[in-house]
């Protein structure tokens, strides 16, 4: 069933076919009565609209999640840095040009008189 679920998100599949497969998979998973599949099927049923949007638009958050994992690993390796700037410099070195400003670095805007 795990492979069948992965087949829903294949690149060459039309969105109508992918939605039909998602519905069939959800039904099969619920009927299996295996706790992990039932939980996954209930989650798919609750978030069906979001999943359909992702299928139709072809958008995922995979890149963001990958970057988040990379940054967390760098921060964990850099444990013990004396400042946040040193850790941020290491993230910038490894991940490329990312425009980040820390909360304490924001310049307050002056109100027009």
**In the chain, domain spans:** 2-57, 62-105
User: What is the pLDDT tens value at each position of the chain, 113 positions in all?
Assistant: 888 888 887 767 788 888 898 999 999 999 998 999 999 999 999 999 988 888 888 777 777 888 889 988 888 887 777 788 888 888 888 887 766 666 667 666 655 54
Query: The pTM is what?
Result: 0.54
Distance CA 10, CA 5 (A): 10
Distance CA 79, CA 85 (A): 13
């Amino acid at each position: 069933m795990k492979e069948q679920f992965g087949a829903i998100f294949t690149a060459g599949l039309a969105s109508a076919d992918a939605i039909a497969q998602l519905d069939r998979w959800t039904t099969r998973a619920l009927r299996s009565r295996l706790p992990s599949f039932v939980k996954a099927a209930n989650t798919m049923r609750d978030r069906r609209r979001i999943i359909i949007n992702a299928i139709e638009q072809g958008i995922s958050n995979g890149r963001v999640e990958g970057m988040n994992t990379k940054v967390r690993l760098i921060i964990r390796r850099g444990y013990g840095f004396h400042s946040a700037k040193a850790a941020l410099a290491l993230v910038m070195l490894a991940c490329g040009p990312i425009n980040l400003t820390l909360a304490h670095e924001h310049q307050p805007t002056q109100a027009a008189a």
